[in-house]
Structure 1
């Protein structure tokens, strides 16, 4: 267990030597509720990239319960699907979990599910999230950033700035609840799981609906809405140790071509109508896989 306030040198050699290689190691960061020096935790984690870790806030029983379930293989994972405006329904579900004292030990999200999941993973409750979402989606004209539609309907600058402002510079690996955002890597034609790095970039990538928002470019690769390949990301939670999985599907059974929102984007819907950019992209990716 690490107190990030103390000098890291006091832990470094001990972590590497106190247990044999055959024993599973877990770094546990014990922090105060007002702790904000996330860069310090990031620097420690870079020294131990292969060791799993947990963030535990002092005097919060829910965090200690999460740690105990993680160590015993009984973690409860929640997967939130994409679904456009229907993503607001995820907030109602999370509120239901709170009211019935159902813990969430890890969470994954695609598209709208990534937004809600990211906020919840930050340790916010439903009463904190609602005004943030209202300000973000309803009080701002994020879709009014129009451009000539060579790549997308909107430029994406206003949306990217809003997402960055929303999540600030918080890294995924410093969240109290493990979080996985799902995007589609257009460059490699494969699913991308964001489990490290800046939270806002992961959410921006996962919510880049083709034809509406431009792809998110990062290190020479292009990322778009994860719903193209994994609209209901439950498998990643099982891979990461969830003993119990709760999948929240907003329509389509996790199949993008059966989800109403994505179906409307896929088109064409009339004989002789040209296929949409989204339609061409979707079928191109299916051939690649």
Structure 2
């Protein structure tokens, strides 16, 4: 029985562009995988590759999305978050204005409308694309914001599924599907290794674009809450990585999720880390395939 290999692409916002660099190396090195499972930005890139099956075309489409008004608005907004520290008097005044604008906006249920991100993702994934149309089998993960139910999307409209998997709570509205209100699957599975195994993977290659939990300073209650959320996500990812057969972690820790302008940097980091790990990956795959082959004989039981 042939070994079923899954490629798992984790969430991480702009850091997820590193997946393009990894895919580029995999394509050139002829690394085969039977299906892709993604979360958040990993879902966007994963679905895009499952449809286009061409890294060059996908990079061009992703680059166009980075230049879209939607992503530029998001990056501009978060760059204007109030900052602490010593400032000149006019800088302090400017910062006070930013605080008023920022905190008045975050009192809403979400910061940006879904059309903002939908139009962006649609540059990569056609609006009417169905899961059955994809050239490589693909799945992505979301979660019902009210019940906590994990949803693994494998059928229906791809754009709707990816939009749900990418809808960061509080940043974008939940995606309504039937009675469910679905948000970013990263809440329960930032690196969906378990989901890949549920779908029948015998060998999982996981690409983790998460961040370090190290924090230089925690100045207020909001910082502490954010740090606690980061720690929870980090521990979930650690457990996922322990379940994977091979992990690639591009060095993009210093990039904030909203820094979409770091597109080229993240791709290059993905290429670097995949190139560094490719020999080990091929060796690991060969070993697993041999073990799987010999275990199929009666005398090995």
Scaled to the shorter chain, the TM-score interval is 0.5 to 0.7
User: Is residue 82–residue 232 contact of structure 1 (8 Å, CA) maintained in 2?
Assistant: yes
User: Is residue 65–residue 123 contact of structure 2 (8 Å, CA) maintained in 1?
Assistant: no
Structure-to-structure mapping, 1:109-188, within 5 angstroms: 109-142=38-71, 144=73, 148-149=105-106, 150-164=108-122, 166-167=124-125, 168-188=127-147
The structure with the greater share of residues assigned to strand is 1
Distance in 2 (alpha carbons) for counterparts of 1:277 and 1:210: 13
Distance in 2 (alpha carbons) for counterparts of 1:239 and 1:192: 12
1:99 maps to what in 2?
28
**Residues 134-179 of structure 1: CA distance to partner in whole angstroms, max 9, x if unpaired?**
1112243345389954111112223223334542211112212111
- Structure 2 CA distance for partners of 1:275 and 1:77, relative to 1, 3 Å: same
1:243 has 2:243 as partner: no
**Residues 79-128 of structure 1: CA distance to partner in whole angstroms, max 9, x if unpaired?**
00001111010000001101101112100001110011001111421101
1:279: how far off? 7.5
Distance in 2 (alpha carbons) for counterparts of 1:93 and 1:273: 34
Secondary structure (helix, strand or coil) at the match of 2:69 reads coil
Secondary structure (helix, strand or coil) at the match of 2:191 reads coil
Alignment coverage as a number of residue pairs: 202
Select 1:220's aligned residue among 179, 198, 201: 179
Structure-to-structure mapping, 1:1-289, within 5 angstroms: 72-142=1-71, 144=73, 148-149=105-106, 150-164=108-122, 166-167=124-125, 168-251=127-210, 269-273=218-222
- Structure 2 CA distance for partners of 1:278 and 1:119, relative to 1, 3 Å: farther
Distance in 2 (alpha carbons) for counterparts of 1:156 and 1:279: 27
Secondary structure (helix, strand or coil) at the match of 2:142 reads strand
Distance in 2 (alpha carbons) for counterparts of 1:95 and 1:269: 38
Of 214-223 and 104-113, deviating more is 214-223
Distance in 2 (alpha carbons) for counterparts of 1:221 and 1:229: 16
User: Is residue 117–residue 179 contact of structure 1 (8 Å, CA) maintained in 2?
Assistant: yes
Secondary structure (helix, strand or coil) at the match of 1:210 reads coil
TM-score (norm 1): 0.62
User: Is residue 112–residue 172 contact of structure 2 (8 Å, CA) maintained in 1?
Assistant: yes
Secondary structure (helix, strand or coil) at the match of 1:127 reads helix
TM-score (norm 2): 0.59
- Structure 2 CA distance for partners of 1:137 and 1:278, relative to 1, 3 Å: farther
Distance in 1 (alpha carbons) for counterparts of 2:220 and 2:213: 21
User: Is residue 62–residue 124 contact of structure 2 (8 Å, CA) maintained in 1?
Assistant: no
1:278: how far off? 11
- Structure 2 CA distance for partners of 1:275 and 1:127, relative to 1, 3 Å: same
- Structure 2 CA distance for partners of 1:153 and 1:100, relative to 1, 3 Å: same
Distance in 1 (alpha carbons) for counterparts of 2:37 and 2:120: 21
Structure 1 alignment gaps of length 5 or more? 1-71, 253-257, 284-289
The structure with the greater share of residues assigned to helix is 2
1:40 maps to what in 2?
none
- Structure 2 CA distance for partners of 1:233 and 1:259, relative to 1, 3 Å: farther
